[in-house]
Amino acid sequence: MRRVGWVAGAAGAVVAVAVAALVFWPGPGGSDGDLTDDWAALSAPQSVTPKAGECHADLDEQVSATVAPVDCAAEHVAETVYVGRFEGTVTQAADAPLLRENATGADAEAQSRAYAECSDRATAYLGHPWFDVRLDLDVTLPTAAAWQAGLRWFRCDLVQTGWGLADPVARKGSLKDAWLPTACADLSGADWPQVDCAKKHDGEYAGAFLAPAAAKKPAGKAMDPLHDKCFDLIAPYLGVSRAKVDYTVGDALWFADDFAYWSSGRRTVHCFIWLDKQTTTGSLKGRGKV
């Protein structure tokens, strides 16, 4: 029993990129034209680097590290789990490697490596796998000015979202201390809506993994290894052996991002236990049998 779902045209939270316009002014009458002897020296905000453990009230693809973080106990939309640094040829580029559909070359490679590193570090930060169908992992970059000034950091942010990577959800408390509850779903319904686990349902979230890179969208026999990987996660979740799980329940796959972003490393595959024509109440975790 196998099912597959794709998120159409989505790549995590929608980001807004602000563009600043420069206006040149010739100066007031009587000015000597030399501003360096009249104005105090400007500070260098682009030298600031973000830190893991900080929380943020806003989301953008490129941010200034001088924007003060908020207390994680207060309302926020993102939690930084790691700050890394780009390496290789992309560091010589004039512009930061922004996330784009069907990216190729150095930008795609840089985004893919950053996302994979963020994924590993997010798990280390939490002390358990970071994956959840209600979480997105964002790679946040320095502003254009900071990049041009030589900064090459990237920020790894966990963002809680609505069901199926919808809009960001404001939360209070670190994910380290307040992890998300078990997620159950109606896999027979349109778009697989979330269901209270105490009520009848035929699906339950069991975990996720990053699929290997692929030149084309997986289909047919190419899906078999992905289903096998899901059963590898479902077996210990249920508390049964890997040899028995195929005969116990079905699986359903939910791809977190549209295939247009796979070249940039966004290849998260969410795995659900699927009961097909049966339903259950309560969580299946550790139950051993349905």
Confidence of residue 269 (pLDDT cuts 50, 70, 90): very high
Q: Report residue 29 as tokens.
A: 């009458």
Q: Could you give phi then psi for residue 269, rounded to 5 degrees?
A: -115, 115
For residues 179 and 272, what is the distance between their CA atoms, to the nearest angstrom? 19
| 3-class secondary-structure state, position 62 | strand
* Upper half-sphere CA count for residue 278 (Cβ side, 13 Å): 13
Confidence at residue 148, expressed as pLDDT on a 0 to 100 scale: 94
Question: pLDDT tens digits, residue range 77-132?
Answer: 999 999 999 999 999 999 999 999 999 999 999 999 999 999 999 999 999 999 99
Confidence at residue 35, expressed as pLDDT on a 0 to 100 scale: 37
Interstrand relation of 250-255 and 268-274 (parallel, antiparallel or unpaired): antiparallel
| Alpha-carbon distances of 217 from 100, 247, 260, rounded to whole Å | 17, 28, 9
pLDDT at residue 26 tops 80 = no
Name the nearest CA neighbour of 125 among 163, 155, 81, 182.
81
Average pLDDT over residues 161-169: 84
pLDDT at residue 25 tops 80 = no
Tokens 């084309």 found at: 216
Confidence at residue 165, expressed as pLDDT on a 0 to 100 scale: 65
Confidence at residue 57, expressed as pLDDT on a 0 to 100 scale: 96
User: At 153, which helix (H) or strand (E)?
Assistant: strand 153-160
DSSP per-residue codes, 196-251: -TTS-BSEEEEEEEEPPP-SS---GGGGHHHHHHHHHHHHHHHT--HHHHTTT-EE
| 3-class secondary-structure state, position 97 | coil
DSSP per-residue codes, 252-265: EEEESS-GGGGGGT
Determine which of 34-38, 176-180, 248-252, 273-277 has the lowest per-residue pLDDT on average: 34-38
Sketch the domain layout of the chain as residue ranges: 50-174, 182-290
Confidence at residue 10, expressed as pLDDT on a 0 to 100 scale: 38
Question: pLDDT tens digits, residue range 29-65?
Answer: 444 444 334 433 434 445 568 999 999 999 999 998 8
Instruction: Convert 97-119 to b/e letters by CB count within 10 Å (16 or more is b).
Output: bbbeeebeebbbbbbbbbbebbb
pTM over 0.75: yes
Q: Are 277 and 228 in contact (CB under 8 A)?
A: no
Tokens 């993102």 found at: 78
Interstrand relation of 62-63 and 135-142 (parallel, antiparallel or unpaired): parallel
